[in-house]
Amino acid sequence: MFIKLKRFVYLAVAGLMFAALGAVILPSRLVEAAEITSRSLTLETDSTATTPVGGSTPSGTVDHLFAFTLPTSTAIQSIEFQYCASLTSTDVCSSSLPAGLTTTSATLGTTSSALSGFTLNNSTNGTLYLTSSTAYTPAANTALSVQFVGVVNPSATNTTFYVTISTWQQATPGTTLVDEGNVAASTANPIDLNGVMPESLIFCTGATVSETSGVPSCSTATSGTVNFQTVFSPNYTSVATSQMAASTNALNGYQITILGPTMTSGSSAITAIGATAASPVNGQDQFGLNLVANTTATNANCGTSLTCGTAITPASDGTSYFALPASSYATADKYAFAANTTTVVATSGYPSGTTVGTDAQIYTATYIVNVQGLTPAGTYTTTLTYICTPTF
């Protein structure tokens, strides 16, 4: 009987020792904790960085935005974010840090208003935590967000890393765990796209030039052979039009010049109106042009069936469009032309006259002819050459 009792005592003591040993060696993370839900980590571009890069760039200085929902309403004083290269068998962060990760330079960015009383501790690389001197008691299922600015991503490319988010009852994590959950993120190999925009000049002329999907397109330019809309007469002004489109990315824009003779038929010629803009006068020899929309007030032959010109399309706005007719060609109902003289008729200088690059616009050139009653009969023609010169 004594022996049995002694054995029982030994067994009881051994059981107590085992229980005590178990209490010592079991890690604190095995304490029952509710799982944080709706967890995410978004890697964002840090707009304040010296050289902003994509959020997942290896070794990039970026922002880490955490979003999560606390399942319980237990009071907490700290929220920990522990980074690691892998998770342990108990599904928490291991002690290994991803190579290149730096969190000690991080600052606290935008957070949920409920966390306004918390401050950041970043003293240990790989572990960031928010701490408060007073307890915060969230409602159950409270959604929160925390942004860390200036985290340096792990250096390995296309590599996953983990962060364990945990809440604690004390101001310093590590004593009484409340809620816990993991998130994962990955660096990614950046895709570098390269393309070249060369020095560009788009210029074309034709009887008409149209827009394609709202953009002037030289592929629509028609033949440059243009007929006046009526035969010549001393009783009215004859009218014809052509169009041209121009754009360039030249730093100093473009200028368009014109060169050609006046209209002739054999040895007979219609006098050029001159380099200074002038109004058409019936019964006088005149050949000239302008680059603006005209009215019927001083062009008796312009009516509902005849074209008096069209304003520059799209209109110049000093932002994307800078087409500007030269002064002698910019006044409605007045025309100019100096025969056999290279003359600037337009630039990309709207509105100040300082030429710059411009998106494509369409000019409409309106030509007028007036003749005397004694002007010899015949077919009068001329060939005009427009040249657009960009200055890069």
**Could you tell me the domains of the chain?**
31-186 (2.60.40.3490), 201-390 (no CATH)
Q: What are the tens digits of pLDDT across the range 196-226?
A: 999 999 999 999 999 999 999 999 999 999 9
- Identify whether 314 is preceded by a cis peptide bond (ω within 30 of 0): yes
23-32, long-range: CB < 8 A, 24+ apart: 27/90, 28/174, 28/175, 28/177, 29/90, 29/92, 29/177, 29/180, 30/90, 31/176, 31/177
The per-residue pLDDT for 11 is 39
User: In the chain, how many H helices and how many E strands?
Assistant: 1, 24
The per-residue pLDDT for 298 is 66
DSSP helix, strand, coil percent of the chain (3-state; round to 5): 10, 40, 50
Q: What are the tens digits of pLDDT across the range 26-56?
A: 344 545 689 999 999 999 999 888 889 999 9
HSE-CB at 302 with a 13 A cutoff on CA atoms is: 21
Q: Please, which residues have CB within 8 angstroms of residue 303's CB and are 6 or more apart in sequence?
A: 296
| CA distance linking residue 125 with residue 102, whole number of Å | 6
Averaged pLDDT for residues 150-177: 97
| CA distance linking residue 334 with residue 322, whole number of Å | 22
Asked if 153 contacts 100 with a C-beta cutoff of 8 angstroms, the reply is yes
Q: Give residue 21's pLDDT band: very low, low, confident or very high (50, 70, 90).
A: very low
Q: Give residue 161's pLDDT band: very low, low, confident or very high (50, 70, 90).
A: very high
Candidates 247, 238, 254, 345; CA nearest to 291 is 345
Q: How far is CA 161 from CA 54, 180, 183, in A?
A: 17, 17, 9
Q: What are the tens digits of pLDDT across the range 310-330?
A: 999 999 999 999 999 999 999
Q: Give residue 192's pLDDT band: very low, low, confident or very high (50, 70, 90).
A: confident
The per-residue pLDDT for 32 is 62
Q: Give residue 12's pLDDT band: very low, low, confident or very high (50, 70, 90).
A: very low
pLDDT surpassing 70 at residue 180: yes
Q: Please, which residues have CB within 8 angstroms of residue 144's CB and are 6 or more apart in sequence?
A: 67, 68, 69, 70, 111, 112, 114, 115, 138
Candidates 357, 363, 365, 291; CA nearest to 322 is 357
| CA distance linking residue 109 with residue 146, whole number of Å | 7
| CA distance linking residue 312 with residue 258, whole number of Å | 18
The per-residue pLDDT for 97 is 97
Q: What is the average pLDDT score of the chain?
A: 91
pLDDT surpassing 80 at residue 120: yes
The per-residue pLDDT for 304 is 66
According to DSSP, the β-strands at 358-370 and 286-290 are antiparallel
